[in-house]
């Protein structure tokens, strides 16, 4: 049995072949039922609604201002093989905007196909030379800025180094050591700028292990040391790291005494501060165990679990250190030492045993460091006592006179 049927109607339309093919397909899909076929009117309507694919649009749109032929004026240009077109003035303005802050000789690329835009423009030799000079100056500007900044830091560090020498040794002795500037050697130009950086580095933990060894090298490289009173500046400078080590021991003992009074557990090897690690005094295992037992009993009876760790962080200085305060303290130390040294000069016995300004200023700086550290320990001790005395006051309870 044949599954094809003859069409029920014909048409004289230009697209009659296409309509007949569609009628055959519909006949096969309806299994030979003529009632399910569409009417000729509906087929003609459907055909009339279909767009004509043979028509090609010639509308141009500027990809910069989005203007078209109907609503914009200007010359149209197509500078690259891609589909982008634009008004000539729009493209010239866009190229000028992209060349801001850069060399006018630098090519501007198409944002779609990355092809460079080529321009017809008036060129001259003088303009090309000036543009080359501008490009070189613009490329060398960052390096010149870094060089100038480095020279400024070098001059400032050298000035501060000379000021430190004059402050610690006194004006007469300092001028004798420095000498006239036209006689400075490379050692002087190298040593003076390192003074501020050495002062800042002395406040770090790395310097605690390097300074004693550097002091021995300095004493060995200097002239034969003669023990006398007052001692020579080389002997004093070489002895400072070892005096500092003894001071760390004294500081650790005082702080350990405060930790016993406050029932705070001593720090472990990983959490020790610089004063504890580089001191000659170390906690014994029995002391640590006794402190742990006492601290645990106190914590169980009176304090919350995290209170003891907070008090230990405050007493042993394990909190975050302010870098600005550290740098400013290191740079202000020579000035404070000279100020205190001038005050010590007024004391008869100090002036008799320390006749040189260098020894008085250095003694004043050491006294300042000791007084500052003891004041910090006292502040931490009082702060821990104040924290432990805290309690929440009910809103209906009247405040006491001490609060």
Closest CA to 11 of 46, 57, 62, 58: 46
CA distance linking residue 373 with residue 261, whole number of Å: 19
CA distance linking residue 346 with residue 351, whole number of Å: 7
CA distance linking residue 203 with residue 258, whole number of Å: 24
Separation of CA 94 from chain center: 37
Could you tell me if 245 and 320 lie in one domain?
A: yes
pLDDT at 216 over 70: no
Tokens linked to 192: 């003076």
Instruction: Tell me the average pLDDT across 23-42.
Output: 46
User: What are the backbone dihedrals phi and psi of residue 54, each rounded to the nearest 5 degrees, phi first?
Assistant: -80, -15
Query: Any idea what DSSP says for residue 303?
Result: S
pLDDT digits (tens, 9 = 90+) for 97-155: 887 766 666 788 888 888 888 887 777 788 778 878 888 888 899 999 999 999 999 99
Element (H, E) at 77: strand 76-77
Instruction: Tell me the average pLDDT across 54-81.
Output: 77
Could you tell me if 38 and 66 lie in one domain?
A: no
Q: Which structural domain range is residue 14 located in?
A: 1-48
CA distance linking residue 309 with residue 372, whole number of Å: 25
pLDDT digits (tens, 9 = 90+) for 76-85: 888 888 888 8
CA distance linking residue 195 with residue 217, whole number of Å: 18
Could you tell me if 104 and 24 lie in one domain?
A: no
Provide DSSP, 184-217: --HHHHHHHHHHHHHHHHTTSHHHHHHHHHHHHH
Q: Which pLDDT does position 20 carry in this prediction?
A: 44
Q: Within a domain: residue 56? A: no
End-of-domain residue from the set 71, 94, 121: 121
CA distance linking residue 134 with residue 141, whole number of Å: 10
pLDDT digits (tens, 9 = 90+) for 345-386: 999 888 888 888 889 999 999 999 999 999 999 999 999 999
How many structural domains comprise the chain? Answer: 3
Query: Any idea what DSSP says for residue 183?
Result: G
Asked if 391 contacts 402 with a C-beta cutoff of 8 angstroms, the reply is: no
Could you tell me if 2 and 108 lie in one domain?
A: no
CA distance linking residue 71 with residue 388, whole number of Å: 81
Could you tell me if 1 and 117 lie in one domain?
A: no
What Rg, from alpha-carbon coordinates, does the chain have? 45
Closest CA to 64 of 101, 100, 89: 89
Longest dimension (CA), the chain: 139
Could you tell me if 114 and 244 lie in one domain?
A: no
Adjacent-strand bridge partners of 111:
none
Q: Which pLDDT does position 5 carry in this prediction?
A: 43
Adjacent-strand bridge partners of 116:
109
pLDDT greater at residue 101 or residue 338: 338
Could you tell me if 278 and 334 lie in one domain?
A: yes
């Amino acid at each position: 049995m044949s599954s094809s049927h003859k069409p029920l109607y014909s048409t004289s339309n230009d697209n009659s072949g296409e309509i007949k093919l569609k009628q055959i397909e519909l006949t096969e899909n309806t299994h030979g039922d003529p009632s399910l076929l569409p009417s000729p009117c509906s087929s003609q309507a459907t055909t009339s609604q279909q767009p004509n694919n043979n028509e090609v649009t010639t509308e141009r749109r500027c990809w910069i201002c989005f203007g078209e032929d109907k609503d914009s004026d200007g010359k149209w240009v197509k500078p690259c093989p891609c589909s982008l077109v634009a008004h000539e003035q729009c493209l010239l303005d866009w190229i000028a905007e992209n060349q801001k802050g850069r060399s006018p000789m630098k090519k501007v690329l198409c944002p779609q196909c990355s092809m460079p835009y080529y321009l017809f423009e008036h060129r001259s030799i003088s303009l090309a030379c000036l543009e080359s000079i501008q490009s070189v100056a613009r490329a060398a500007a960052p390096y010149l800025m870094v060089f100038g900044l480095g020279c400024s830091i070098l001059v400032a560090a050298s000035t501060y180094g000379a000021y430190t020498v004059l402050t610690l040794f006194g004006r007469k002795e300092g001028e004798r050591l420095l000498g006239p500037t036209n006689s400075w050697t490379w050692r002087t130009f190298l040593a003076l700028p390192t003074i501020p950086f050495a002062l800042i580095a002395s406040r770090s933990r790395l310097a605690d292990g390097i300074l004693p060894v550097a002091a021995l090298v300095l004493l060995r490289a200097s002239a034969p040391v003669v023990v006398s009173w007052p001692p020579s500046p080389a002997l004093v400078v070489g002895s400072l790291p070892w005096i500092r080590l003894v001071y760390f021991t004294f500081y650790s003992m005082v702080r350990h005494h405060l930790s016993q009074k406050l029932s705070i557990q001593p720090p472990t090897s990983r959490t020790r501060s610089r004063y504890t690690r580089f001191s000659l005094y170390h906690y014994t295992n029995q002391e640590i165990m006794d402190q742990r037992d006492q601290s645990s009993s106190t914590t169980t009876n009176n304090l919350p679990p995290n209170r003891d760790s907070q008090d230990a962080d405050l007493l042993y200085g394990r909190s975050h250190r302010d870098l600005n305060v550290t740098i400013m303290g290191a740079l202000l130390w020579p000035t404070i030492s000279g100020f205190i040294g001038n005050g010590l000069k007024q004391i008869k016995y100090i002036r008799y045993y320390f006749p040189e300004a260098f020894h008085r200023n250095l003694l004043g700086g050491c006294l300042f460091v000791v007084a500052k550290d003891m004041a910090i320990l006292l502040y931490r001790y009082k702060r821990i006592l104040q924290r432990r005395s805290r309690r929440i006051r009910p809103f209906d309870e009247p405040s006491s006179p001490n609060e």
